[in-house]
Amino acid sequence: MYRHKNFVKASRIIRSDGGPKRFELDTAAQNVEITPLKAVRRVGDELIVLCKVPYRIDSCRMTVGPTSYRLIPNNQGDVVYHGQGLEVGECGAQIKHIKEEWNGNISCVLPPKTGSIEVSGTMQLLVARAPGDPQLISPPQASFKEGDIFMAQCIVPNGRPAAKITWFLDDEQVLAGTHQPIVTSEPGSDLQTIRQNVSRALTADDSGKRLVCRAEHESLDQPKEASRQLLVNYYLQSLSEDFLTSEPGSDLQTIRQNVSRALTAEDSGKRLVCRAEHESLDQPKEASRQLLVNYPPKRLDDSSSITIFGLKIAEEGRLNVTVRANPRPHAEWTVGDVKLTAPQKNEDASIEALEPVHLGGGYYNVTLVLSRVAKEDVDRTYYLTVANDLGREDFSVRLSTMDEPAGVELETGAIVGIVIAVLFLLISIFLVVFAKATDRWCFAGRSHRTDIPDGADSEAPLPPHDDVKGSENPSHDHGEYISNGDTKHPEKKPDTAV
């Protein structure tokens, strides 16, 4: 609550020659206490201004903007009396709906305790006007080195009153390195522009974070922001042993571990995660940060030239080359003696170099469009240079009206047939081995066959028959044979016991 006292002094001249004499009437005791001394309100808001003197008054007048209001208790209107009553010396105004044109001073005018000179009090009303969008001014380079001093300025223009600026790195407020804000206004205008600088020695922890300038103002329901992402290039520390430490007198332990990695293009955009596990935790805890790696343009294969297949004479042709780069590359095509820096067309607009299109993951599609493919276009070699701040890559591109050569591909049916054939072969081998090992099927009776050399007097047993049981195998002369379906029996000899 602000209190302000306005002191009033009156004087009168008395001449020494019998005319009016000079004297002073000090009315310092007649002071006006006004609250608040200063207020900021939006259009449509309510404001109560209270003027008070230590004596009874019989009138109360309040000047709001260009209008003077005579305030009488219990009267109604946009500006009405507020206070405990004139008899206790209170002259207050309840302003129900603030208007834009009321921006400025509000004065109350009260009768004096003695004399005829009115006393008054004045307060300042600022009718809030929303500022413009914040402007973040920072170095133009895309990335910085660890240890660089990064400086930025935030400008929030034309607010009434001036906006409040707050700096953040992601969600962490930045206090160190912020300079004193400077508030200025244009001549003849009550709108104010605020500027504030910030400086910071960049560290690896800052990389990937967003530097945010946040503007707050009485007339805004939500803060306004301007931001940019910080990219800091650095080397990770080498992987080392775990370090366990503890504070003196404590049995609690702190563990530290470093990691190093030679960053590649594949690492860009990935999150490096440190995961902590502990017996007392139901779930591991993690801390992470995103890796942003800058690298020159890279070709996707090792071939020095590229052939674009499938183009048709007299139709539109598109030469698409995919590269990988970070930051964003720019492309230049050379067609004969003509150089086209994307995005650009040649003089007759028959050839157009398109702006590289980001496909995600650092991949870019670089395209040259021929409005109508001619025979000489097929015989020509096109040269492409893709570059960024870190390097360049050159390509030679040829056209072909032939379809792209098909690779060795098998359809689903062929693959299924091959699998079935292999299974059949394996099963056949297994069955043959099994039959041979167990004397089954075509291998049955293999153990009953005996090779008999010529002229040997020996006997070979015949396979047993179901109708012959418990009898000795009869002896047969080796001269027994079969000829023309007739069985020849030589003269039977008597059995001789052995």
- Structural domain count, the chain: 4
Would you mind telling me the total number of residues written for the chain in this entry?
A: 498
Q: Are residues 211 and 319 in the same domain?
A: no
Is residue 343, in this structure, part of any structural domain at all? yes
Q: How far is CA 23 from the centre of its chain?
A: 78
CA–CA separation, 198 and 228 (whole Å): 14
**CB-based contact 156:204 (threshold 8 Å):** no
Is residue 242, in this structure, part of any structural domain at all? no
**CB-based contact 325:296 (threshold 8 Å):** yes
Is residue 405, in this structure, part of any structural domain at all? no
Q: Are residues 150 and 123 in the same domain?
A: no
Residues 374-433 have pLDDT tens digits of 888 888 899 999 999 889 989 899 888 887 766 545 566 678 788 889 988 999 898 888
Q: Are residues 115 and 173 in the same domain?
A: no
Q: Are residues 155 and 215 in the same domain?
A: yes
pLDDT at 239 exceeding the cut of 90: no
**CB-based contact 78:47 (threshold 8 Å):** no
Q: Are residues 76 and 17 in the same domain?
A: yes
86, 111, 127 - which closes a domain: 127
Is residue 85, in this structure, part of any structural domain at all? yes
Q: Are residues 71 and 143 in the same domain?
A: no
Does the pTM of the predicted model rise above 0.85? no
Give the pLDDT mean for 48-61: 93
Is residue 247, in this structure, part of any structural domain at all? no
What are 126's two structure tokens?
């600022």
What are 458's two structure tokens?
């020996």
CB under 8 Å to 403, separation ≥6 — which residues?
309, 310
Is the model more confident about 473 or about 208? 208
CA–CA separation, 1 and 7 (whole Å): 20
Q: Are residues 281 and 171 in the same domain?
A: no
CA–CA separation, 443 and 449 (whole Å): 11
127, 162, 191 - which closes a domain: 127
By 3-state DSSP, what share of the chain in percent is helix, strand and coil, each rounded to 5? 10, 45, 50
Q: Are residues 85 and 194 in the same domain?
A: no
For the domain that residue 363 is a member of, what is the CATH number? Answer: 2.60.40.10
Is residue 439, in this structure, part of any structural domain at all? no
CA–CA separation, 217 and 40 (whole Å): 10
Is residue 261, in this structure, part of any structural domain at all? yes
CA–CA separation, 281 and 321 (whole Å): 50
The conformation of residue 178, written as its DSSP 8-state character, comes to B
Q: Are residues 80 and 26 in the same domain?
A: yes
Place of tokens 């922890």: 205
Confidence of residue 115 (pLDDT cuts 50, 70, 90): confident
**CB-based contact 118:112 (threshold 8 Å):** yes
Q: Are residues 380 and 279 in the same domain?
A: no
| Nearest Cα to Cα of residue 33 among 118, 159, 149, 119 | 119
Confidence of residue 123 (pLDDT cuts 50, 70, 90): very high
pLDDT at 207 exceeding the cut of 70: yes
Is residue 281, in this structure, part of any structural domain at all? yes
CA atoms in the 13 A half-sphere facing the CB of 66: 2
Give the pLDDT mean for 486-490: 47
Confidence of residue 285 (pLDDT cuts 50, 70, 90): confident
C-alpha to C-alpha distances, 105 to 36, 40, 90, nearest whole angstrom: 12, 12, 19
Confidence of residue 157 (pLDDT cuts 50, 70, 90): very high
Q: Are residues 356 and 379 in the same domain?
A: yes
Q: Are residues 153 and 176 in the same domain?
A: yes
CA–CA separation, 90 and 74 (whole Å): 14
| Nearest Cα to Cα of residue 9 among 22, 21, 25, 23 | 25
CA–CA separation, 150 and 167 (whole Å): 14
Residues 9-21 have pLDDT tens digits of 333 333 334 444 3
CA–CA separation, 385 and 397 (whole Å): 11
| Nearest Cα to Cα of residue 329 among 269, 391, 387 | 387
What are 214's two structure tokens?
């946040």
127, 156, 182 - which closes a domain: 127
CA–CA separation, 170 and 178 (whole Å): 16
Instruction: Note down the domain range covering 275.
Output: 255-290
